[in-house]
């Protein structure tokens, strides 16, 4: 594969250095699968501060970035350790007033990102007309010009940068995702800049052979980094399964701020990249996850 003038390929450390800045509003992609843990590790490694994290349903990646001192504010619909329990670093920070919290519903967050992706200032919806979220988040009302119906105006959310993971891309940055996308497409398209990590870099011809799989066109992507296993411990359809043991281990680890801080230093700040972090895992563990992958009919 020959890289042309539109090549977006670069190392992940360079991508984060160029495109993630202190104080940025950062959309984090993934929905069960394809959660960009490698990108989050690099954000921690480079010591970014005062970030505003956003997505509908957030998991332990948010907990990690909060514990590492990278986060000033979170905008979300759900934040926890899926299938396990609480996000302990988030809870401690919230109780101490160390971070700001903007709590929406999952559906309202999807509408906010969709409005941002469409380039409109808000979307009307028959939700949040009652309850305390409406007042806390400043949701306003509008009347439908056709029916007179009372509706909520859900404001657009336009992040500075999106971090997403996908199965593959070409050198021009055309991203292809198989399986559940969640709010990844809207979040990416609503963002000013997009950093993508992928399991594979493939030819332009391979991308063009299945154009319906392309979720983000290359002209919207700022950088693509080839990072195999870049979503671990989440899963990637067709490549590896979810490492449930890692989520359970995080629950135990994150209960102690001291142990968690030591782990972040040892496993992220003091290793050169995500590959070095993965190299500390037993090879048979990754082999089991590879065997547990769910095939989704991706073209070869």
pLDDT at 13: 98
Tokens of 264: 């972040």
Residue 297 pLDDT level (bands cut at 50, 70, 90):
low
Please tell me whether residues 197 and 286 are part of one structural domain. Answer: yes
Whether 251 maps to a domain, the answer reads yes
Whether 297 maps to a domain, the answer reads no
Give the mean pLDDT of 77-93.
Answer: 95
Instruction: Say whether pLDDT at 42 is over 90.
Output: yes
Count up the domains in the chain and report the number.
2
Q: How far is CA 88 from CA 61, 121, 169, 252, 262, in A?
A: 12, 34, 35, 9, 16
Tokens of 296: 């989704």
Residue 4 pLDDT level (bands cut at 50, 70, 90):
low
pLDDT at 132: 85
Please tell me whether residues 143 and 200 are part of one structural domain. Answer: no
Whether 261 maps to a domain, the answer reads yes
Q: State the DSSP string of 30-81.
A: -BSB---HHHHHHHHHTT--SEEEEEEEE-HHHHHHHHTT-EEEEEEEEESB
In CATH, what number is assigned to the domain containing residue 27? 3.40.1080.10
Please tell me whether residues 78 and 161 are part of one structural domain. Answer: yes
Confirm if 57 and 187 have CB atoms less than 8 A apart.
no
Angle ∠(74,251,232) on CA atoms, nearest 5: 75
Cα separation, 107 vs 172, whole angstroms: 32
Whether 246 maps to a domain, the answer reads yes
Please tell me whether residues 102 and 151 are part of one structural domain. Answer: no
Please tell me whether residues 151 and 161 are part of one structural domain. Answer: no
Please tell me whether residues 277 and 167 are part of one structural domain. Answer: yes
Confirm if 31 and 184 have CB atoms less than 8 A apart.
yes
Please tell me whether residues 102 and 242 are part of one structural domain. Answer: yes
Whether 45 maps to a domain, the answer reads yes
Domain that holds residue 127: 122-155
Whether 7 maps to a domain, the answer reads no
Cα separation, 145 vs 140, whole angstroms: 16
Please tell me whether residues 84 and 174 are part of one structural domain. Answer: yes
pLDDT in tens, 267-292: 999 999 999 999 999 999 999 999 98
Please tell me whether residues 273 and 133 are part of one structural domain. Answer: no
Please tell me whether residues 99 and 143 are part of one structural domain. Answer: no
Whether 296 maps to a domain, the answer reads no
Cis before 233? omega within 30? yes
Please tell me whether residues 229 and 93 are part of one structural domain. Answer: yes
pLDDT in tens, 109-144: 999 999 999 999 999 999 999 888 888 888 999 999
Instruction: Give me the helix-helix angle, 12-19 and 37-45, nearest 10°.
Output: 70
Residue after which a domain boundary falls, among 106, 134, 155: 155
Instruction: Give me the helix-helix angle, 257-264 and 88-96, nearest 10°.
Output: 120
Please tell me whether residues 275 and 139 are part of one structural domain. Answer: no
Whether 299 maps to a domain, the answer reads no
Angle ∠(162,163,169) on CA atoms, nearest 5: 105
3-state DSSP assignment of residue 293: coil
pLDDT in tens, 210-249: 999 999 999 999 999 999 999 999 999 999 999 999 999 9
> Cβ atoms within 10 A of the Cβ of 78, count?
16
Query: In which residue are the tokens 């996908």 written?
Result: 166
Instruction: Say whether pLDDT at 251 is over 50.
Output: yes
């Amino acid at each position: 594969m020959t890289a042309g003038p539109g090549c977006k390929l670069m190392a992940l450390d360079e991508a984060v250095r160029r495109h993630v800045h202190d104080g940025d509003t950062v959309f984090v992609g993934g929905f069960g699968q394809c959660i960009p843990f490698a990108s989050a590790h690099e954000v921690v490694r480079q010591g970014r501060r005062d970030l505003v994290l956003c997505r509908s349903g957030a998991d332990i990646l948010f907990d990690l970035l909060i514990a590492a001192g990278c986060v000033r504010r979170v905008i979300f619909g759900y934040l926890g350790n899926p299938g396990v329990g609480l996000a302990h670093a988030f809870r401690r920070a919230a109780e101490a007033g160390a971070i700001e919290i903007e709590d929406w519903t999952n559906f309202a967050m999807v509408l906010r990102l969709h409005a941002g992706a469409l380039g409109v200032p808000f979307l009307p919806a028959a939700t949040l007309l009652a309850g305390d979220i409406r007042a806390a988040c400043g949701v306003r009302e509008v009347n439908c010009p056709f029916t007179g119906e009372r509706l909520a105006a859900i404001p657009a959310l336009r992040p500075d940068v999106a971090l997403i993971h996908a199965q593959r891309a070409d050198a021009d940055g055309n991203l292809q995702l198989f399986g559940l996308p969640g709010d990844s497409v809207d979040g990416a398209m609503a963002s000013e800049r997009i950093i993508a990590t992928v399991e594979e870099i493939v030819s332009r011809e391979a991308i063009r052979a299945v154009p319906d799989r392309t979720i983000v066109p290359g002209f919207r992507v700022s950088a693509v980094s080839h990072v195999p296993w870049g979503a671990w411990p989440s899963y990637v359809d067709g490549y590896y399964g979810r490492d449930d043991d890692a989520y359970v281990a995080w629950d135990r680890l994150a209960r102690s701020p001291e142990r968690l801080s030591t782990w972040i230093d040892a496993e992220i700040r003091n290793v050169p990249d995500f590959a070095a972090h993965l190299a500390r895992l037993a090879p048979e563990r990754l082999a089991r996850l590879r065997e547990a992958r769910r095939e989704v009919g991706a073209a070869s």
